[in-house]
A = this chain, B = another copy of it.
Amino acid sequence: MDFRDTPEEAAYRAEVRTWLHANAQPRTSDEQRFGEGLDDAERISAARVWQRRKAEAGYAAITWPREWGGSGGTAMQQVIYGQEEERFLVPRMVFENSIGQCLPTVAMWAAPAVRERHVPRGIVGDEIWCQLFSEPAAGSDTGGIRTRAERHGDEWLINGQKVWTSGAHFCDYGILLARSDWDKPKQKGLTMFIIDMKAPGVEIRPIHQMSGDTEFNEVFLTDVRIPDANRLGEVNGGWKVMLSTLMHERLAIGGHLPTHLHRNLIQVARTARWNGRPALDDERVKERIANAFLSQHGVELIIARGLTALSQGKEPGPEMSILKLVAGRGILDIAGFALEMAGPEGLVAHQDLGREWSFLQQLWLSAPGIRLAGGTDEILRNVVAERVLGLPGEIRTDRELPFRELER
């Protein structure tokens, strides 16, 4: 057991760090984010530039095999790069779906020509990808997809609506799951496609979240044409393709949870008095600081277990589902407590009390979303119960019936 870098890891880290110092500015505080003051188009454009620079240096797709244009590196190298990159003021997240899920799916399932067309451009930042799975009636139950894919010769005609499409408004392509056969049971009539997000019939509307953010979109699809060559996997074999995509998602998740929550809490409490004493002397405050650390460092350690599995050539299993359970609830509790400490002043938004406050407030507003995105707490508990603990699945009445007969 060794948390420190192996000599190889240390060497890689040093190399990464040198490269980052030569190519980017270090962040000066935990809360500082790239792109403050830039508009959307400027941020995307900066992200494309940064992606190309990473690609040229071999950091764009570290773990991908060389035949896909990756660096053939280890998962650990990917993590080391991520840890180091986080200290710099560079665009992040924009290519996360592209590199993390969409392009690996394309690389695995597309015909060679299609793969050659897209994968190299994705890596260098020329094409950005999004994922179109969720629908208004297919959230936790992805099998409920109603977007219709009808085959007309060598083309498919797509009609329907997707939701929660991250970054749809700046993406060039997407992977789309649609229902190709309504007479098959729900999970057996789906097909996966590559969709051109600029194609006629694709209409994108931002979703206004309660946090004020609009990172997600609704995507309305009206008679969108997709050549059959852009199908991924077999007709009606989309469920299997989707599972492979989500497998990649699982590996990626958790990387963007805040790693310094207990420090924020300490920072906020350090300058204040609570009930006539320094706030940091109050045992309730200390209790929450300790709890914040337990959740947050726990999340890091769970990730470390997953990475250890990876580096041993295993796949992290369904037990990684506990990550988001710990993080989501932790964030809600910790951010909520931070606001509460200050009483009425905790209500003030975007205030003079400093970046820590603003950060904690935004966190409080995003916490309900964190508990939902990528699987609700309830879905994750089912995964743990069934796939880790071996308890029986939910009683299902919808699995074998033709989809069109399922009552809405």
Contact = CB atoms under 8 A, between A and B. Distances in A.
Interface in A247-294: 275, 282-284, 287
Nearest first, the 5 A-B pairs at minimum CB distance are: A283-B284, A283-B283, A395-B395, A282-B283, A284-B287
7 contacts: A275-B283, A282-B283, A283-B283, A283-B284, A284-B284, A284-B287, A395-B395
Contacts of A283: 275, 282-284
A282 B287 CA distance: 11
A11 to B, nearest CB: 46
A283 B281 CA distance: 10
A276 to B, nearest CB: 12
A152 to B, nearest CB: 42
Interface residues of A, number: 6
Interface of A: 275, 282-284, 287, 395
A137 B185 CA distance: 38
A284 B287 CA distance: 8
A341 to B, nearest CB: 12
A76 B407 CA distance: 51
Contacts of A282: 283
A76 B282 CA distance: 45
A283 B284 CA distance: 6
A303 B188 CA distance: 54
A327 B287 CA distance: 25
